[in-house]
Amino acid sequence: MFNQSDNTRDGFMLDGCFAYQGYDWWWHSFTGYEEKTGEEKNFFIEFFTCNPAYGEAEPIYGRLPVNQQNGRKPSYLMVKAGCWGEDHMQLHRYFGWDDVEVSRDVPYQINAGDCYASEDHLYGTVALSEEEAADHPEYMSDAGSMSWDLKVNKDIAFNVGYGAGAPFRRMKAFEMYWHAEGMKSSYEGTVICNGRTYLVTPETSYGYADKNWGRNFTSPWVWLSSNDLTSMITGKRLTNSVFDIGGGRPKVFGIPLNRKLLSAFWYEGREYEYNFSKFWTNTRTKFFFHETEDAVYWHVTQENRTTVMDTKVKCLKKDMLFVNYEAPDGTKRHNRLWNGGNGIGVIRLYKIENEELKLIDKIRAEHIGCEYGEYDS
């Protein structure tokens, strides 16, 4: 069973060695509609924490040449906010650890200035001028402004299992951990993006919320998820459904496990899971990514002992951005990490009977959150 809420995994994880070389972030994405025109826009908000053991009154930027020369590691809370589409942007606001309050209790809370995140509430603001963005490449930020006040309800979870459980967390066994407390989430509130107000409603927010933490980032890096799903056989909207695919090349105690993904499909109350860490399910995975001049494409095929899930996704490059992070050691490994929220695709779900595939449903997916990136080791 993967639909098991566990907000202890949403707690702050940067203790022990991860306090000196570690990141922990809470990601949120959703759809809003311009209050006057009804124009749709897809947004993201993230609270990214890094290396609290080196925390000072001011943020320490790992990309600053003087810090690289002196071997100073990055240390800060970065609030990332932005949108996808042809006018896509990502905005970064940084806080030194003296200005950050993070609860060590469950449920989590993180607060800095007028920015706040918890299991059920988000508010904050980020704004940079053209001059600030140009003068400070260490910010890794575009210019623009965005503010938000949102309620969050996490409806369906993807609990990946024992890999992110307490024993493996204590041992810091994995290089990168993942937990999706709200792979299907409902958002409600308002976003003001570059002076325009957008309304967010639970029924049409198509929301998502997860978190990652660890000491480094996976490569390749894969993420695909949506709960805007419609059966292409019956024409019925699947309002109690969501899929989530993530992973790439996990490392356990420093040993890489090549081309492994964790995937879940909650299909109208039924669970279909493809999880390499649950070895008894005999999960097998193939995934491919390619680019054309104007679009990027994913093709993921996974099977276990009883079912097969085949997922094909497309997202236009004009709607995407290269999402920016620096690793806790101060390097920026991913420089072409495609990131989007406007993907479309088709999922075919099969059951295996007498060694033959029988179609359960063919599903159209929209508002797909999607990522792919690789770097040279």
Closest of 102, 70, 56, 370 to residue 243, by C-alpha: 370
Encoding tokens for residue 342?
């406007």
Q: Is the pLDDT of residue 29 over 70?
A: yes
What value does the mean pLDDT of the chain take?
Answer: 95
Encoding tokens for residue 140?
């890794």
Closest of 196, 167, 181 to residue 3, by C-alpha: 181
Residues in the chain: 377
CA distances from 138 to 60, 95, 158, 298, 345 (A): 10, 14, 34, 31, 35
- Average pLDDT rounded to a whole number, residues 277-301: 94
Encoding tokens for residue 312?
């094909």
Phi, psi torsion values for 349, nearest 5 degrees: -115, 125
Q: Is the pLDDT of residue 259 over 90?
A: no
- Average pLDDT rounded to a whole number, residues 57-83: 96
Q: Is the pLDDT of residue 256 over 90?
A: no
Q: Is the pLDDT of residue 166 over 70?
A: no
Contact at 8 Å (CB) between 360 and 351? Answer: yes
* Higher per-residue pLDDT: 249 or 310: 310
Tally of helices (H runs) and strands (E runs) in the chain: 3, 25
- Average pLDDT rounded to a whole number, residues 76-97: 98
Encoding tokens for residue 336?
């072409």
CA gap 132, 204 in Å, rounded:
35
Q: Residue 162: its pLDDT value, please?
A: 57
Q: Residue 161: its pLDDT value, please?
A: 78
Q: Residue 170: its pLDDT value, please?
A: 65
Q: Residue 40: its pLDDT value, please?
A: 98
- Average pLDDT rounded to a whole number, residues 258-278: 92
Q: Residue 249: its pLDDT value, please?
A: 80
Q: Residue 213: its pLDDT value, please?
A: 96
Q: Is the pLDDT of residue 85 over 80?
A: yes
Contact at 8 Å (CB) between 132 and 161? Answer: no
Q: Residue 84: its pLDDT value, please?
A: 98
CA distances from 154 to 23, 77, 218 (A): 23, 24, 26
Contact at 8 Å (CB) between 265 and 243? Answer: yes
Phi, psi torsion values for 99, nearest 5 degrees: -105, 10
CA gap 118, 251 in Å, rounded:
29
Lowest pLDDT segment from 33-37, 69-73, 252-256:
252-256
Question: Strand, helix or coil at 95?
Answer: strand
> 3-state DSSP: the chain helix, strand, coil percent, rounded to 5?
10, 55, 35
DSSP string over 183-217: EEEEEEEEEEETTEEEEE-GGG--EEEEEEEESS-
Read off the pLDDT of residues 172-218 as tens digits, 9 standing for 90 and up: 778 999 999 999 999 999 999 999 999 999 999 999 999 999 999 99
Encoding tokens for residue 171?
């041992």
Contact at 8 Å (CB) between 3 and 188? Answer: no
Phi, psi torsion values for 168, nearest 5 degrees: -70, -30
Q: Is the pLDDT of residue 320 over 60?
A: yes
Could you tell me the sign of the dihedral formed by the alpha carbons of 166, 170, 171, 177, in that order?
positive
Q: Is the pLDDT of residue 285 over 60?
A: yes
pTM, two decimal places: 0.96
CB within 8 Å of 47: residues ≥ 6 apart:
25, 26, 77, 78, 79, 80, 110, 115, 117
At 169, the pLDDT band (50, 70, 90 cuts) reads: low
Q: Residue 164: its pLDDT value, please?
A: 56
Q: Residue 67: its pLDDT value, please?
A: 94
Q: Residue 167: its pLDDT value, please?
A: 60
DSSP structure class, residue 166: H
